[in-house]
Amino acid sequence: MKWDPTHIKQLQNNSLFKGLSEAQLSQALANAQVREKKSGEALFSQGEPADRFFWLRTGLLKLYRLSPSGEEKIIEIIRPGQTFAEAIMFAGKPNHYHVGAQF
């Protein structure tokens, strides 16, 4: 995948990638995938293996848990430029939350 220079710059400013050269970052992103989701569509669900992390280019994502009665409890709204799910991925545990496209 070819990355837009604007996105490369944004990622270089992210704490996870800070200090990497453009070439190092491009190498790290060589296997990255772009996923597009419609509003209300899930990116991943609670309990699924956390085998990757994400960086949001555009839109908003809702990170939430479901109560025993099925009610959504929003934990965080993820905005463009944010990375997420990296801590749980490195911990080697399943996802603790659901994440779905908001807008």
pLDDT 10s digits, 28-83: 888 788 888 898 899 888 888 888 888 898 899 999 988 899 899 999 999 998 98
Which of 24-28, 43-47, 96-100 has maximum average pLDDT? 43-47
Indicate if 13 and 42 belong to the same structural domain: no
Task: Let me know whether 59 and 46 are in one domain.
Answer: yes
pLDDT at residue 103 above 80? no
Residue 43 and residue 29 share a domain: no
Q: Does the structure show a pLDDT above 80 at 84?
A: yes
pTM exceeds 0.95, yes or no: no
What CATH number is associated with residue 42? Answer: 2.60.120.10
If one counts the domains in the chain, the total is 2
Instruction: Answer yes or no: do 27 and 42 share one domain.
Output: no
CA angle 78, 75, 86 (to 5 degrees): 55
| pLDDT for res 1 | 62
Residue-number span of the structural domain to which 57 is assigned: 37-103
Are 30 and 42 contained in the same domain?
no
Residues 102 and 53 in one domain: yes
